[in-house]
Structure 1
Amino acid sequence: MHALVVDSDAAESSFLSAELQRHGFDAQECVTGAEALEIHDKFDLLLLDLRLPDIDGLEVCRAVRATSDIPLIAFAAGDHGLDRVLCLQAGADDCLAKPYGLRELIARIEAVLRRSGPARTAPRPATDPLARGSLCIDPLTREVRLNGRLVHLTRKEFDLLHRLAADPHTVHSRARLMTDLWGYPAGYVPDARASRTIDTHVSALRAKLGAPDWVLTVRGVGFRFGRA
Structure 2
Amino acid sequence: MTGGSRGIGAATSRELAARGYRVAVNYFSNREAADHVVKLIEADSGEAFAVQADVYDPGQAAALLERSVIDGRLDVLVCNAGARFIPTPVPDLAWDDFKRKVTDELASVYTLTQQALTVMSAQGQGRIVYVSSAVADGPPAAGMAAHGTAKAALNTFARFVAYEAGPLGIKVNVVAPGFVRTEASAGMPQEFQQRIVKRTPLGRVAEPEDVARSIAMLVGDDASFVTGSVLTVDGGHGLARP
State the TM-score, normalizing by the size of structure 2. Answer: 0.38
Larger radius of gyration: 1
Task: Name the structure with the higher helix share.
Answer: 2
User: Highest relative contact order (Cα 8 Å, sep 6+), 1 or 2?
Assistant: 2
State the TM-score, normalizing by the size of structure 1. Answer: 0.39
